[in-house]
Amino acid sequence: MREINIGLLGCGTVGTGVAKLLLEQRELIASRLGAVLNLRRVADLDVARDRGIRFPDGMLVPDARRVVEEPGIDIIIEMIGGEGIARELILKAIAGGRHVVTANKALIAGHGNEIFRSAAEKKVDLYFEASVGGCMPIIKTLRESMVANRIAAMTGILNGTCNYILSKITDEGSTFADALAVAQRQGYAEADPTLDVEGFDTAHKIAILSALAYGMPVNLKDVYIEGISHITPMDIEFAGQFGYRIKLLAISKRHDDAVEARVHPTMIPFANLLSNVNGTLNAITVSGDATGDILLYGRGAGMMPTASAVVSDVVDLARNLLSGTAGRIPALAFQPERIRPIPIMPIDRISSHYYFRFSALDRPGVLSSISGILGAHGISIQSVHQKGRKTNGAVPVVMLSHRAQEADVKKALNEISALDVTGAKPVLIRIEDEGLQD
Amino acid sequence: MREINIGLLGCGTVGTGVAKLLLEQRELIASRLGAVLNLRRVADLDVARDRGIRFPDGMLVPDARRVVEEPGIDIIIEMIGGEGIARELILKAIAGGRHVVTANKALIAGHGNEIFRSAAEKKVDLYFEASVGGCMPIIKTLRESMVANRIAAMTGILNGTCNYILSKITDEGSTFADALAVAQRQGYAEADPTLDVEGFDTAHKIAILSALAYGMPVNLKDVYIEGISHITPMDIEFAGQFGYRIKLLAISKRHDDAVEARVHPTMIPFANLLSNVNGTLNAITVSGDATGDILLYGRGAGMMPTASAVVSDVVDLARNLLSGTAGRIPALAFQPERIRPIPIMPIDRISSHYYFRFSALDRPGVLSSISGILGAHGISIQSVHQKGRKTNGAVPVVMLSHRAQEADVKKALNEISALDVTGAKPVLIRIEDEGLQD
């Protein structure tokens, strides 16, 4: 039986999962693929740590550069992470004619265009299913299953850490800080949680998916990003009273001459299936003009789910190698010469429903001042709720708006902040009423 | 740009959708594929009917056999349905070296083994994504994305007609007959609804998926099948009181030396995401040992969603043609020589939780007779509910069991039926407490 030789760079959590699958499921994979995936070399600086795997002698080595250059290796799996050495090694692997699999969303989001260009020039494939959504096959679905669809929109819960924290606040009324501390103890959040809780990881993912869906280059820098660290139990509780849950959503929409690509805490109705995606789980809906809405749901992170996606890419590349094909599916779903920049709309240009919470002195005329300013900016209010509880002499006033322009909303909130009857900065949370309803 | 020539056999609802996509999305598909899908010929006995498509002169022809034999056609799409002429034409197309796409689940479930053997011998590919789950890419997910997983179980709502009818009974308390009549008026059920409501269509689908998941030949004849026509509003209401919804589920589980493959109405807890899949929508969960549970959700039928899946297969085959490959992915996910029969467990051998409803005379000692018989057969009862309302002097007595063997359950129910204190035949509905919880 033919053998495909694999070099694995980086043996941290997911890398270890990949090694486990390649070694322990070797026979199962061969029975499907018709060839053996032969894990030839694993490179990690730490060759001493017990990973619960018995590596054959000489398989685990410290020098990733040598693995990339080793003759006879067909596929390089990059599991180092980050944008420095990982980028350098991937470019070196491509230059050497190796096919590459990576789960590195930061790298694809930040340097994907450059890397895909090199790969196309060298006629090698670079697959990256595991970079978005863990074991949910969202990239395969966009590149292959929805190939006859114009994609209109995508809405996803793409970061398990944030979803865990928000679920914790929702279910137990914890503060953000307490929920984060629990997430860190459980291993669901990093010691420095910034990349996750400030929305950057989710932004990497929606930048990648938007490119795949619309035929545009990866454009991370114009994605609007707002994290969850300012979300309070009070807003989550109010949301619940209005029939909404707060989720960190990645939202991407196609307009005629622009796209929306934004990451922010969002209120979604209980009837939206995404509102029932809790804990560390991920889900994404995609709207195609032929399919209508489809939804994928599953573990978006973790050792084995992510490793499963990595190995599925390795098998795809192995099938290409066995049939002497490369470039079977273009990296960004569209043929490179058909990819055109499409501007991402500045957040000011979007329109949405809004939840506002003002901290207002409990005295006559306050409501009318606030709603007067909103009205002057063309923002019409669907409902107003003055909540009983006083804090520092102020009461929370909650308003839900009809659809409004974000630019108008910002101007109005600035004016309202300047009123001498309002206290703390107003809270703004966007509401997504469209999308998948059960 | 290279052209791939397509012959479409059958231009009913889904066939028309396929023609529409191939003609109207030709440019979009080419921008992804890098080649043109050229719909060369469409065969349908009815060449006169207005399908809302302007076919170029000479494209629409009455004779499917001639299209199969027409020189220069690369891919045949079979949209005729049924097991007669469709089978004959597919075998003829394969014999002529054409690659084939079909959505014909009855054919694959009934004759898949024979057809896949012919295709392997002639080194042509036969793809059938649209045969299960409409636009949900469940076959691609099983064959490609989960390639490094041992599949432990699948649970699906795979028939939109049944799900619509059950949703209608649940939401509106209609009878089965009334809900069916509405489904027929809405176009969600056929004039003869047997194939759908008696569970046969769902059985076709789970037979196909079980083969793909476990590496066994397609085995339709041993799938246990029970439809929904006996489901009453009363049982749906009681289910709701216990926190369950009734769905027609396809359940497939891997044991060491056998598999379960069964289709029957099933109570699932509200917390199971599948319980929130309503109307004509479909969903399926798959448990892999690396991925954990994943779920796909979307339109399982209908013109354009199904056509989208058909065209995604056509594009896959076109990519194979462009790279001179066939047999890239084995039809049943495993290499043909690795496929081994695995017996499907007779329904008597399964174990499950159960809902029983007895119609019992409201007199002392009845409950103890019933529970005595259940106990004697090793069936332990989790709760008993005597419902107030009398019909014909009898009251409904509902019992929920702990896990029990189906064979024991049948014996016990037979004995209970023979008691002179019970009326109509006892109702048995299986409960599935495992699976995806939100």
Tell me the CATH number at A231.
3.30.360.10
Average the pLDDT over A287-303 and give the result. Answer: 96
Radius of gyration from C-alpha coordinates of chain B: 24
Cα B11 to the chain's mean position, in Å?
Answer: 23
Q: pLDDT tens digit string along B352-369?
A: 999 999 988 878 888 899
Using the Cβ of B324 and the Cβ atoms of chain A, whether some distance falls under 8 Å is answered with: yes
Q: What is the pLDDT of residue A390?
A: 63
How far is the CA of A428 from the CAs of A414, B14, B67, B221, B436, in angstroms? 12, 46, 61, 59, 34
Query: Does residue B155 form part of some domain?
Result: yes
Given a cut of 50, whether residue B174 has pLDDT beyond it is yes
Q: pLDDT tens digit string along B216-253?
A: 999 999 999 999 999 999 999 999 999 999 999 999 99
- Taking alpha carbons only, the member of A331, A330, A323, A318 closest to residue B324 is A323
Mark out the alpha helices in B215-333 (DSSP H runs).
233-241, 303-322
Query: Does residue B436 form part of some domain?
Result: no
Q: pLDDT tens digit string along A331-360?
A: 999 999 999 999 999 999 999 999 999 988
Provide the sign of the torsion angle of the four alpha carbons B134, B136, B137, B143, taken in this order: negative
Query: Does residue A324 form part of some domain?
Result: yes
Is-contact A116 A335, C-beta < 8 A?
no
How are beta strands A259-269 and A427-431 bridged, if at all? parallel
Lowest mean pLDDT among A241-245, B342-346, B357-361: B357-361
Domain match, B425 and B327 both: no
Does residue B66 sit in helix, strand or coil? Answer: helix
Cα gap A203→A198, rounded to integer Å: 10
- The phi and psi torsions of A417 (rounded to 5 degrees) equal -60, -30
Domain match, A376 and A309 both: no
CATH code of the domain containing B78: 3.40.50.720
Is-contact A17 A33, C-beta < 8 A?
no
Domain match, A186 and A129 both: no
Cα gap B316→B265, rounded to integer Å: 36
Residue type, position A166, single letter: L
Average the pLDDT over A7-25 and give the result. Answer: 97
Average the pLDDT over A148-172 and give the result. Answer: 97
Domain match, B204 and B164 both: yes
Judged by CB atoms closer than 8 Å, whether chains meet at B32 and A335 is answered as yes
Q: What is the pLDDT of residue A438?
A: 40
Using the Cβ of A27 and the Cβ atoms of chain B, whether some distance falls under 8 Å is answered with: no
List chain A residues with CB under 8 Å of B148. 21, 25, 28-29, 307-308, 311-312, 315
Judged by CB atoms closer than 8 Å, whether chains meet at A335 and B31 is answered as yes
How far is the CA of A417 from the CAs of A353, A354, A369, B398, in angstroms? 20, 17, 11, 61
Query: Does residue B437 form part of some domain?
Result: no
Given a cut of 70, whether residue B399 has pLDDT beyond it is yes
Given a cut of 90, whether residue A391 has pLDDT beyond it is no
Using the Cβ of A36 and the Cβ atoms of chain B, whether some distance falls under 8 Å is answered with: no
- Taking alpha carbons only, the member of B196, B139, B141 closest to residue B310 is B139
Residue type, position B197, single letter: V
Helix, strand, coil percent content, chain B, rounded in steps of 5: 40, 25, 35
Cα gap B174→B165, rounded to integer Å: 9
Q: Is B52 exposed, middle or buried (0-12, 13-18, 19+ CB in 10 A)?
A: exposed
Domain match, B179 and B56 both: no
Domain match, B273 and B315 both: no
Global pTM value: 0.96
Q: What is the pLDDT of residue B354?
A: 97
Domain match, A190 and A264 both: yes
Cα A317 to the chain's mean position, in Å?
Answer: 24
Cα gap A42→A329, rounded to integer Å: 28
Judged by CB atoms closer than 8 Å, whether chains meet at B438 and A144 is answered as no
Q: What is the pLDDT of residue B127?
A: 98
Cα gap A220→A225, rounded to integer Å: 10
How are beta strands B36-43 and B60-61 bridged, if at all? parallel
Mutual angle of helices A105-121 and A85-95, in 10-degree steps: 20
Last residue of a domain, one of A338, A362, A390: A338
Q: Minimal Cα–Cα distance from B337 to chain A, Å?
A: 9
Using the Cβ of A390 and the Cβ atoms of chain B, whether some distance falls under 8 Å is answered with: no
- Taking alpha carbons only, the member of A402, A129, A434, A139 closest to residue A273 is A434
Domain match, B143 and B242 both: yes
Q: What is the pLDDT of residue B392?
A: 65
Domain match, A294 and A310 both: no
Domain match, B307 and B373 both: no
CATH code of the domain containing A421: 3.30.70.260
Query: Does residue B220 form part of some domain?
Result: yes
| Touching A: B residues 114-153, CB under 8 Å | 129, 135-137, 140-141, 143-150
Q: pLDDT tens digit string along A23-71?
A: 999 999 999 999 999 999 999 999 999 999 999 999 999 999 999 999 9
Given a cut of 70, whether residue B402 has pLDDT beyond it is yes
Q: What is the pLDDT of residue A435?
A: 56
Domain match, B330 and B354 both: no
Using the Cβ of B161 and the Cβ atoms of chain A, whether some distance falls under 8 Å is answered with: no
List chain B residues with CB under 8 Å of A289. 304
Radius of gyration from C-alpha coordinates of chain A: 24
Average the pLDDT over B309-335 and give the result. Answer: 96
Neighbours of A192 (CB within 10 A): 9
Last residue of a domain, one of A267, A298, A329: A298
Average the pLDDT over A123-139 and give the result. Answer: 97
Given a cut of 90, whether residue A388 has pLDDT beyond it is no
Q: What angle do CA A137, A142, A144 make, to 5 degrees?
A: 90
Given a cut of 70, whether residue A437 has pLDDT beyond it is no
Query: Does residue B95 form part of some domain?
Result: yes
Q: What is the pLDDT of residue B222?
A: 98
Residues sharing a CB contact under 8 Å with residue A334, sequence separation 6 or more, in sequence order: A215, B31, B32
Specify the DSSP element, H or E, that contains B43.
strand B36-43
Average the pLDDT over B107-125 and give the result. Answer: 97
Given a cut of 50, whether residue B438 has pLDDT beyond it is no
Q: pLDDT tens digit string along B120-132?
A: 999 999 999 999 9
Using the Cβ of A315 and the Cβ atoms of chain B, whether some distance falls under 8 Å is answered with: yes
Using the Cβ of B376 and the Cβ atoms of chain A, whether some distance falls under 8 Å is answered with: no
Query: Does residue B200 form part of some domain?
Result: yes
Average the pLDDT over B109-137 and give the result. Answer: 97
Query: Does residue B205 form part of some domain?
Result: yes
Residue-by-residue DSSP string for B334-367: S-GGG----PBPPGGG-EEEEEEEEEEESSTTHH
**Total number of domains constituting chain B:** 3
Partner-chain residue, chosen from B25, B277, B324, that has the shortest CB–CB distance to A148 = B25
Output the six-digit token pair for B65: 């056999």
Identify which has the larger pLDDT, A1 or A116.
A116
Judged by CB atoms closer than 8 Å, whether chains meet at A325 and B330 is answered as no
Provide the sign of the torsion angle of the four alpha carbons A81, A82, A88, A91, taken in this order: positive
Domain match, B91 and B198 both: no
Mean per-residue pLDDT of chain B? 95
Q: What is the pLDDT of residue B255?
A: 97
Given a cut of 60, whether residue B182 has pLDDT beyond it is yes
Cα gap B182→A228, rounded to integer Å: 46
List chain A residues with CB under 8 Å of B290. 17, 21, 25, 135, 304-305, 307-308, 311
Average the pLDDT over B420-437 and give the result. Answer: 81
> Residue B183: which domain range?
138-299
